[in-house]
A and B are shown apart, each in its own frame.
Chain A
Amino acid sequence: MATTLATAFDRLVLALSVAMAVLAGVLLASLFVIVQYEVFTRFVLAAPTHWTHEVSTFAISWVGLLAAPYVLRLGSHLEVDLVTTRLPHGIRNLLGIATDLLGACFCGFAAWTGAGFVELAHMMEATSASELDTPLWIPYLVIPLAFGLLALEFVTRAVARTGLVRGRDTTATAIHI
């Protein structure tokens, strides 16, 4: 029962992470197109845009953070395992659970304060003070979204380390350190 629940929860979080990573990938491709387009309009057409600079600046934070939960799932965030690989398996696993929960706390806190921050920017009608005048709560939204999901990914990884999640091996990581 617990295994089924844990596995279902894990798959749900995975689906969310994949969806956000796909969105990040689309944004990454658009980033390239937008910057290349600006060179084209300015140099070839001599008609620069007023939006590419701002849109691409916001996109970069979205690209980096939206993909972060999926990258955590892959185990591809930079992690130092110089010490942990020398520990006995059981202790290593326990330490893994502890650091995952610590990571979940940090990310959860970032998501929670981030949500307040988004609300505040909305209340203040803070904008980018440019011609585009983007309401800042829109770019800020990535903080609660990405860190919220990162927190969930940390939690599922901690649960998976207890062996409750079917078909997820937390020891096989792509970590190089």
Chain B
Amino acid sequence: AEVTLRYAGTLPTSHHNAIGQQRLADRVKELTNGEVEIQVYPAGQLYGARDIPTAVVSGGVDMGHNLTSVWSTDAVAEIPDLPFLFADAAHAERCWEPAGPLHRGFAAHVERRRMKLIHTMFFGSLFDFGNNGRLIREPADLRGMKIRGYGRLSAEGLRALGASPIVMSPGEMYLGIQRGTIDGAITGVTSLESRKIWEVVKHATITGAAFGVMAVNISMARWNALRPAHQEALMKAGEEVYRWAAQESGRRDVHSTQFLIDKGIETLVLSAEQKATWAQAFAPAAAAWESRASAEAKQLVEEVRALRRAA
């Protein structure tokens, strides 16, 4: 191949985002007649999530994917975590498509950090509980529970709901829930299945409050060194993978929810009315976001809400 790009990912190979990683590589190879080869390193083979951003910009690896909030802790990157921002997957898809406001806003943001956004991939539902003790029907049920969270906004959200957020290594989480060191974990419904958390919990609550978005970035230096035809092929393949992942993540969320039910986990999927109650409880977390968001970030959220009304 004329150009070789190394692409680091963090998810296990069976995860649809890792499959998306491979799809991008395959499609780019086709589109460029093999001139551009993307070598994929899924499952954190090269770097953990937190180390990917600096690794990409320093040239340790050429490109990588991460949840937007791991690429940057700027308020712009936290927009997908804002509680119940998206009406549904179709709404989210309009916001993140290449011409959509969030793609544009996030791309501009990472550009200032010497990276080029190629495309995004939906991770899917991302504020779902797997826990023991009692089924969480409303926020008050969380009071006093020790729940393993991820990242800043989930911790703030948990605290707003009255739970104690716990930081724990992935390697210790399974045993921690099983032995009662902690009461449960908050993660995506797909992870409740794929990370085997369902084996050790009795209850699951699918809130759908946050919606994970993986951004695929390449270092600006590498991007600028590519021929225009190759750049075009990357963007084209990226959009195809984006469309595919949007479908696939929706399908997998549904599949994993059914999986939990089939395994005898008492599973609650929040109704529209319940979501409204939860949204009120999240108010402190949303306010915390507002307080650190720039005018630009707030403007993007307005555009997202406008797209919701338009639908």
The interface of chain A, by Cβ under 8 A from chain B, is 42, 46-48, 50, 52-54, 116-117, 120-121, 124-131, 133, 136, 140
Contact = CB atoms under 8 A, between A and B. Distances in A.
A117 B54 contact: yes
Given A47-B164, A131-B152, A131-B155, A124 B53 contact: yes
B117 to A, nearest CB: 15
Contacts of B144: 46
Contacts of A116: 58
6 contacts: A48-B146, A52-B167, A124-B114, A125-B74, A125-B113, A131-B165
Contacts, number: 60
A8 B74 CA distance: 49
A126 B167 contact: no
Interface of B: 49-50, 53-54, 57-58, 69-70, 72-74, 113-114, 144, 146, 151-152, 155-156, 164-169, 181
A124 B217 CA distance: 14
Q: Nearest 3 A-B pairs (CB), nearest first?
A: A53-B167, A131-B155, A127-B73
Given A50-B165, A133-B73, A126 B146 contact: no
Contacts of B113: 124-125
B54 A42 contact: no
Given A46-B144, A125-B72, A140-B54, 18 more contacts: A42-B166, A46-B146, A48-B146, A48-B165, A48-B167, A53-B167, A120-B54, A124-B54, A124-B114, A126-B54, A127-B73, A129-B69, A130-B151, A130-B152, A130-B167, A131-B155, A131-B156, A133-B73
Most buried by A among B73, B156, B169: B73
